Structure 1
Amino acid sequence: MNYRILAKVLGLLLVLISLSMFVCGLFAKLDVVAGDHEAMVALVKSAAITFAVGGLLVLLGLGKIDRIPRREGVMIVGLGWILSTLFGSLPFHMCPPYMTWGEAIFESASGFTTTGATVIPDLTEWPRGILLWRAVMQWLGGVGILVLFVAVLSYLGVGTKSLFRNESSFQSGEATTARIRDTALTLWKLYLGLTVTCLVGLRLMGLTWFNAVCHSFTAVATGGFSPHNESIGYYSNWGNGIWIELWISLFMLVCSLNFLIFAVILSKKWQRLKEEDDARWFIGMCSLVAIGIAVGLSLDSRYSVGFLQALRESWFVVVSIASSSGFGTVDYALWPAWSQALLAVLMVIGGCSGSTAGGMKLGRFMVFLKSSLHEVIRAFRPNQVFRLIVNGNPVDESGRARNTSFVALYLLIIALGSVVVGILEAGTGIHMDTCLAAVLATLSNIGPGFGDFGPTKNYDILRDSTHAFLSGIMILGRLELFAILVLFVPAAWRRY
């Protein structure tokens, strides 16, 4: 293990985060809303601490780096998200009304992993500078802090292919064959363009600049943090509330698709779009589930809503859950059990590979379904040869095996994580189904779950030890397991 490379790259990452904190502190200084002086002090102090540690790491790693080896790349990705979470928690702990360390780390992890779970019962108690920092964390974590990092490091002359490959959101063939720096820059230009478009639209619809910025940051990141306790439901009763909901749901949907699709569109490789199975499946899945729930709600005598109103509510909730955003307009915990079961399935599946969405990813689910179907057919046609193609790319036997292992490990972590949460919360009266909901929602980076962690609830009822554990679960889900699990393999740390 080359620790000098780790120190330098992680130090530069912390410097970038400290600059983001400082910008939020500057906003708090200039903001006229009472109470932001404390936020300014907390953010500036946090930025100074983060910058000092980052600068020290950079000094320890001084020297030219020609390339980042694969092992160091994997370690940097895992450690980078952990350090971002730890230092990102400082403002929450240092600003009134103050969070405990466990709560602050949980809120920070939820931000950077774009999970959207929160321990804040009343957002009005927190100054706007801190609420802006929550949105900025999700925006940075959305497309991947380390994808931005790739572009920055490439200009510094550092080979960063291993970083790009191991940042979970962009494990795609196009990304590894293109020039990595150009691909990273293209992705960030697309991300910025989508953010600005969403921001302008929300501002024209009547949102203040502050609310438009916060919601555009978290919608494009499919994160779900809102400065309002009612989330997007705050605007539902506005005259143009339905258009605000549709506008935000559009960006949640678009940003759940593989970002490289947009790069393909810009390069006018139209034939490649015909091979994009993920996008068709995702849009079709959201549409069918939303329509099905709307029909069920409109026909159920317990719910006095017409079909169009039911469709409005179900569409936003379905897209929010499938994209792992977690924005809310209605309390889906009041819906029938079968509709909540459908939402739970969407939580596990998640969005498309190469998107800002969470979950195990639709591409993996497609490979798993097709492979399972092939095995069923092999039961009566053992000699039949199958060719599995997903998104225009053939999947060989080793690829199928890796995919099956990932799905099995994902489900195993949900089961074991639920047991751990139950042990950590022993004596509090928490039920096992609530433990399962907490792990499912955090591992899939959704945020709101079911039961005590439903769309109108939060995670403040948990102990600090449970908050810390679920923070690790969020990072594990964001990096799709392996970039974090490798940190616990002793051989990965051996010096060479």
Structure 2
Amino acid sequence: MNFYLITRILGLLLVLEAATMALCGVFATFDIIEGDTEAAKMLFLSAAITGGFALLFTVPGITKTKHDTVPKREAIVIVGLGWILCSIFGGLPYLLCPPYMSPAGAFFESASGFTTTGSSVMIVIEQWPRGILLWRAVTQLLGGIGILVLFVALLSYIGVSSKSLFQNESSFRNGDLGLARIQDTATMLLRLYLGLVVICLLGLKVMGLTWFNATCHAFTTISTGGLSPHSQSIGYYSEWGNSWLIELWLIIFMALGSLNFLLFIVALRKNYRRLLKEEDAKWFLGLCGLVIILITCGRTYNDGISIFSSLRDSAFIVISIASTTGFGTSDYDQWPTWAKVLIACLMLMGGCSGSTAGGFKVGRLIVFAKSARNEVIKTFRPSQVFRVVVNGNPIDDANRARIMFFLVLYLMIAIGATAVVGFLEAGTGISLESCAGTVLATISSIGPGFDAVGPTKNFAELREPTKVFLGWIMILGRLELFALLVLFVPSLWRKY
């Protein structure tokens, strides 16, 4: 294990984080209307502390590392530790700036930002300075594309190949582009990502939002993070005459954020044959459409709600949950039980592979569904040979077994984590629905859950150990389990 290489790259990653903190401090300095002077000081102090540790990490490795590539084992460690360190240091502004958070709350809020989960322990969001709220949105902007993908795109000059880093950042594993240099892929993704952010931002500004609110919401929409500078989330705009247009605009960009970003580049390269083979997007949009229709018809027929109001609420909530954004306009916790079960299924599923969304991903659901169909047919046609093909690519038995193992492990961890939350919150009167909701909301990067952590509430009332545990669950889900779990395998740390 080359620890000098690991610490050097982690140090440079913290430099990127410190720089973005300082930029938020600059905003707070000039945000005269809100008077964020204390926020500016604390953001600069946080940047200085993060930068100081970055130097401690980086300097020893400058003369000690001579590799021109990042070995796979070191890359896995960098990915896992990178998300942990960024979440720890990212909590400094919440810890140091009034109205202050506890260390556990600061770690939870930071992890929620970088993992684009969107869960929060802020009771009244408007009480926090705008500089801190901007940093909160920026963490989701960075986390959406993957800090390590940004790192590859912006800091490729470090002198080592970043291919392993890119491949181990779980959101982007698709090789459809076939580009010779992985930096080219990362740079193209970054440009596309920022381009969508700018378009979303300008649209929100045209609809009447302030530059600050439009910026924060654009950052957290494309990243499918869902943190809003308002305690009411998107419901804050419900009284506006064009609120339906704001919601429609956000629905479009939440959906775009939950599709495979590499497909957009394939489309720009006019590779239409590849687009026609795409199944992830078809399944994702089709399932969302089906759930929207079911909930709309059910609420209209059973509750007497007008079809327009029901369709509007259902479309926004379903896309918000399925994309794992977590914006809210209505309280789905008051919907019928059957509707909440559908919402919970969407929470588990999440978006497409190669997107900014969480969950276990639609692609794995497709493989499971096709494999299940084949196994059922084999009961009366045992000699028939089947091929599982997804997006035009055959899935061999080894990959199919890995996908099945991942799905089982994902569900087992979710069940186990639910039990742990129940244990940590024993004596508080927390319900099973609340425990399961906290885990679903965090491991799938959703944001709101059910009952005590529903869309009109937050995670502030949970105990401090529970917040720390859920922060780890967020990172575990964001890295799709293995990049974090592998850190606890002793053989990983042995010397070559």
* TM-score (structure 2 length as normaliser): 0.98
Could you say which residue in structure 1 is the equivalent of 2:112? 110
Q: What is the CA distance between 1:173 and its match in structure 2? A: 2.6
Residue type of the partner of 1:8?
R
Could you say which residue in structure 1 is the equivalent of 2:284? 282
Q: Is the Cα–Cα contact under 8 Å of residues 113 and 225 in structure 2 kept in the other structure?
A: yes
Q: What is the CA distance between 1:178 and its match in structure 2? A: 4.5
> Can you list the C-alpha shifts for 1:163-211, whole angstroms capped at 9, x where unaligned?
1111010011326764201000000000010000001100111100000
Written as runs of structure 1 = structure 2, the 5 A alignment for 1:27-426 is: 27-63=27-63, 64-174=66-176, 178-301=180-303, 304-426=304-426
Instruction: For 1:156 and 1:182, locate their aligned partners in 2 and report how far apart those are by CA, in whole Å.
Output: 15
Q: Secondary structure at the match of 1:437?
A: helix
Q: Is the Cα–Cα contact under 8 Å of residues 294 and 307 in structure 1 kept in the other structure?
A: yes
Residue type of the partner of 2:109?
E
Matched, 1:469 2:477: no
Instruction: For 1:488 and 1:458, locate their aligned partners in 2 and report how far apart those are by CA, in whole Å.
Output: 31
Q: Is the Cα–Cα contact under 8 Å of residues 179 and 185 in structure 2 kept in the other structure?
A: no
Residue type of the partner of 1:141?
G
Relative to structure 1, is the Cα distance of residues 395 and 485 closer, same or farther in structure 2, using a 3 angstrom cutoff?
Answer: same
Q: Is the Cα–Cα contact under 8 Å of residues 153 and 159 in structure 1 kept in the other structure?
A: no
Could you say which residue in structure 1 is the equivalent of 2:478? 478
Q: What is the CA distance between 1:292 and its match in structure 2? A: 1.3
Relative to structure 1, is the Cα distance of residues 178 and 297 closer, same or farther in structure 2, using a 3 angstrom cutoff?
Answer: farther
Instruction: For 1:357 and 1:155, locate their aligned partners in 2 and report how far apart those are by CA, in whole Å.
Output: 29
Q: What is the CA distance between 1:376 and its match in structure 2? A: 1.4
Residue type of the partner of 1:343?
I
Q: What is the CA distance between 1:236 and its match in structure 2? A: 1.9
Instruction: For 1:97 and 1:26, locate their aligned partners in 2 and report how far apart those are by CA, in whole Å.
Output: 20
Instruction: For 2:261 and 2:126, locate their aligned partners in 1 and report how far apart those are by CA, in whole Å.
Output: 35
Relative to structure 1, is the Cα distance of residues 166 and 337 closer, same or farther in structure 2, using a 3 angstrom cutoff?
Answer: same
Runs of 4+ in 1 over 3 A off after TM superposition: 175-178
Gaps of 5+ in 2: none
**What value does the CA root-mean-square deviation take over the aligned residues?**
1.1
Q: What is the CA distance between 1:380 and its match in structure 2? A: 1.6
Q: What is the CA distance between 1:422 and its match in structure 2? A: 1.1
Gaps of 5+ in 1: none
Q: What is the CA distance between 1:152 and its match in structure 2? A: 2.8
Instruction: For 2:215 and 2:299, locate their aligned partners in 1 and report how far apart those are by CA, in whole Å.
Output: 34
Residue type of the partner of 2:341?
A
Instruction: For 1:491 and 1:156, locate their aligned partners in 2 and report how far apart those are by CA, in whole Å.
Output: 28
Q: Secondary structure at the match of 1:314?
A: helix
Q: What is the CA distance between 1:299 and its match in structure 2? A: 1.1
Q: What is the CA distance between 1:38 and its match in structure 2? A: 1.4
Instruction: For 1:459 and 1:400, locate their aligned partners in 2 and report how far apart those are by CA, in whole Å.
Output: 37
Q: Which deviates further from its counterpart, 190-199 or 176-185? A: 176-185
* TM-score (structure 1 length as normaliser): 0.98
Q: Secondary structure at the match of 1:409?
A: helix
Q: Secondary structure at the match of 1:457?
A: coil
Q: Secondary structure at the match of 1:119?
A: coil
Q: Is the Cα–Cα contact under 8 Å of residues 165 and 176 in structure 1 kept in the other structure?
A: no
Instruction: For 2:177 and 2:446, locate their aligned partners in 1 and report how far apart those are by CA, in whole Å.
Output: 26
Instruction: For 1:89 and 1:37, locate their aligned partners in 2 and report how far apart those are by CA, in whole Å.
Output: 19
Q: What is the CA distance between 1:415 and its match in structure 2? A: 0.6
Residue type of the partner of 1:207?
L
- The aligned length equals 494
Q: Secondary structure at the match of 2:191?
A: helix
Q: Which deviates further from its counterpart, 347-356 or 266-275? A: 266-275
Q: What is the CA distance between 1:406 and its match in structure 2? A: 0.1
Instruction: For 2:289 and 2:61, locate their aligned partners in 1 and report how far apart those are by CA, in whole Å.
Output: 51
Instruction: For 1:90 and 1:348, locate their aligned partners in 2 and report how far apart those are by CA, in whole Å.
Output: 31
Instruction: For 2:387 and 2:442, locate their aligned partners in 1 and report how far apart those are by CA, in whole Å.
Output: 35
Instruction: For 1:278 and 1:178, locate their aligned partners in 2 and report how far apart those are by CA, in whole Å.
Output: 25
Q: Is the Cα–Cα contact under 8 Å of residues 258 and 353 in structure 1 kept in the other structure?
A: yes
Instruction: For 1:476 and 1:389, locate their aligned partners in 2 and report how far apart those are by CA, in whole Å.
Output: 28
Instruction: For 2:262 and 2:475, locate their aligned partners in 1 and report how far apart those are by CA, in whole Å.
Output: 23
Instruction: For 1:344 and 1:319, locate their aligned partners in 2 and report how far apart those are by CA, in whole Å.
Output: 13
Q: Is the Cα–Cα contact under 8 Å of residues 177 and 266 in structure 2 kept in the other structure?
A: no
> Can you list the C-alpha shifts for 1:352-401, whole angstroms capped at 9, x where unaligned?
00000000000011111111111111122111100111111110000110
Q: What is the CA distance between 1:287 and its match in structure 2? A: 1.1
> Can you list the C-alpha shifts for 1:311-360, whole angstroms capped at 9, x where unaligned?
01100000000000000000111111111110000000000000000000
> Can you list the C-alpha shifts for 1:422-457, whole angstroms capped at 9, x where unaligned?
111122121222111111110000010111011001
Quick one: percent identity of the two aligned structures? 58
Q: Is the Cα–Cα contact under 8 Å of residues 332 and 455 in structure 1 kept in the other structure?
A: yes
Q: Secondary structure at the match of 1:321?
A: helix
Q: What is the CA distance between 1:41 and its match in structure 2? A: 1.2
> Can you list the C-alpha shifts for 1:109-143, whole angstroms capped at 9, x where unaligned?
00000000000111111110110011000000001
Matched, 1:451 2:489: no
Q: What is the CA distance between 1:35 and its match in structure 2? A: 4.7
> Can you list the C-alpha shifts for 1:36-60, whole angstroms capped at 9, x where unaligned?
1111111110000001111121101
Q: Secondary structure at the match of 2:389?
A: strand
> Can you list the C-alpha shifts for 1:469-495, whole angstroms capped at 9, x where unaligned?
000000000000000000000111112
Instruction: For 2:252 and 2:329, locate their aligned partners in 1 and report how far apart those are by CA, in whole Å.
Output: 15
Written as runs of structure 1 = structure 2, the 5 A alignment for 1:7-26 is: 7-26=7-26
Instruction: For 2:401 and 2:460, locate their aligned partners in 1 and report how far apart those are by CA, in whole Å.
Output: 39
Instruction: For 1:473 and 1:176, locate their aligned partners in 2 and report how far apart those are by CA, in whole Å.
Output: 33
Residue type of the partner of 2:74?
E
Matched, 1:5 2:5: yes
